[in-house]
A and B are shown apart, each in its own frame.
Chain A
Amino acid sequence: MQWEPVIGLEIHAQLSTRSKIFSGAPTAYGAEPNTQASLIDLGFPGVLPVLNEAAVRLAVRFGLAIGATVARRSIFARKNYFYPDLPKGYQISQYEAPVVVGGSLTIHPEGGESRRIGITRAHLEEDAGKSLHEDFQGMTGIDLNRAGTPLLEIVSEPEMHSAREAVAYMRALHVLVRYLRICDGNMQEGSFRCDANVSVRPKGEAAFGTRTEIKNLNSFRFVERAIQYEIERQIDVLEGGGTVVQETRLYDPDRDETRPMRTKEEANDYRYFPDPDLLPLVVPEAMVEAERQALPELPEARKARFVEDYGLKPADAMQLAFDRDTADYYEAVARVCGDARLAANWVNVELAAALNREGLDVACSPVSAERLGGLLARIADGTISGKIAKQVFEKMWTEGTEADVIIEREGLRQITDTGALEALVEEVIAANPKQVEQYRAGKGKLLGFFVGQVMKATQGKANPAQVNQLLKKRLDE
Chain B
Amino acid sequence: MTGESLHLESVAGLVRGLAERRFSSEAVTRHFLDRIARLDARLNSIVTVTAETALDQAREADGRIARGQPRPLEGVPLLHKDIFCTQGVRTACGSRMLDNFVSPYDATVVSRLRAAGAVMLGKANMDEFAMGSSNETSFYGPVRNPWDTERVPGGSSGGSAAAVAARLTPAATGTDTGGSIRQPAALCGITGLKPTYGRVSRWGMIAFASSLDQAGPMAVSAEDCAHLLRAMAGFDERDSTSMNRPVPDYVAALEAPVDGLRVGLPREWFGEGLDAGVAEVVESAVAVLRELGAEVREVSLPHVGLSVPAYYVVAPAEASSNLARYDGVRFGYRCKDPRDLHDLYVRSRSEGFGAEVKRRILIGTYALSAGYYDAYYRKAQQIRRLIREDFLRAFETVDVLAGPTSPTPAFRIGERTRDPVSMYLSDVNTIAANLAGLPALSMPAGFTAGLPVGLQLVGRDFDEGRLLGVAHRFQQATDWHRRVPPGFE
Contact = CB atoms under 8 A, between A and B. Distances in A.
Interface string A187-207: 000000000000000000000
Interface string A243-272: 000000000000000000000100001011
A82 B342 CA distance: 10
Contacts of B84: 46
Interface in A33-59: 39, 42-51
Given A46-B107, A88-B324, A273 B240 contact: no
A456 B106 CA distance: 82
A221 B365 CA distance: 41
A84 interface: yes
A142 B203 CA distance: 26
Interface in B316-356: 317-318, 320-321, 323-325, 327, 329-331, 341-342, 345
B368 A45 contact: no
B368 A50 contact: no
Given A90-B324, A264-B342, A45 B103 contact: yes
A90 B205 contact: no
A78 B324 CA distance: 11
- 4 closest A-B pairs (Cβ-Cβ)? A89-B324, A276-B211, A271-B368, A276-B210
B241 interface: yes
B325 A45 contact: yes
B104 A44 contact: yes
9 contacts: A39-B105, A46-B203, A48-B203, A50-B239, A88-B324, A90-B321, A142-B330, A271-B373, A278-B241
A21 to B, nearest CB: 13
Contacts of A279: 240-241
Interface in A266-311: 269, 271-273, 276-279
A87 B321 contact: no
A80 interface: yes
Nearest to B105: A39
Given A78-B321, A87-B325, A88-B325, A45 B240 contact: no
A43 B325 contact: yes
Given A39-B104, A44-B104, A49-B240, A89 B98 contact: no
B91 A45 contact: yes
Contacts, number: 102
Contacts of A42: 330
Contact of A87 (B105, B238, B330, B341): B330
A411 B74 CA distance: 86
A90 B327 CA distance: 12
Nearest to B371: A269
A45 B83 CA distance: 9
User: Helix, strand, loop or mixed for chain A's interface?
Assistant: loop
B333 to A, nearest CB: 12
Given A45-B207, A89-B325, 6 more contacts: A44-B331, A46-B206, A84-B329, A90-B324, A271-B373, A278-B240
Given A89-B327, A276-B318, A47 B103 contact: no
Nearest to A269: B370
Interface string A82-111: 101001111000000000000000000000
A462 to B, nearest CB: 73
User: Helix, strand, loop or mixed for chain B's interface?
Assistant: loop
A273 B325 contact: no
A44 B325 CA distance: 8
Contacts of B240: 48-51, 277-279
Interface string B83-123: 01100000101000010010111010000000000000000
B202 A48 contact: yes
B238 A43 contact: no
Contact of A46 (B205, B209, B377): B205
B422 interface: no
Contacts of B105: 39, 44, 46
A165 to B, nearest CB: 33
A131 to B, nearest CB: 10
A78 B377 CA distance: 14
B369 interface: yes
Give the interface centre of B205, B209, B239, B325 by most chain A CB atoms within 10 Å.
Answer: B325
Contacts of B415: none
B189 interface: no
B217 interface: no
A45 B368 CA distance: 22
B91 A142 contact: no
A278 B242 CA distance: 10
B347 to A, nearest CB: 14
Given A46-B207, A48-B203, A273 B239 contact: no
B36 to A, nearest CB: 25
Contacts of B210: 276-277
Nearest to B93: A45
B237 interface: yes
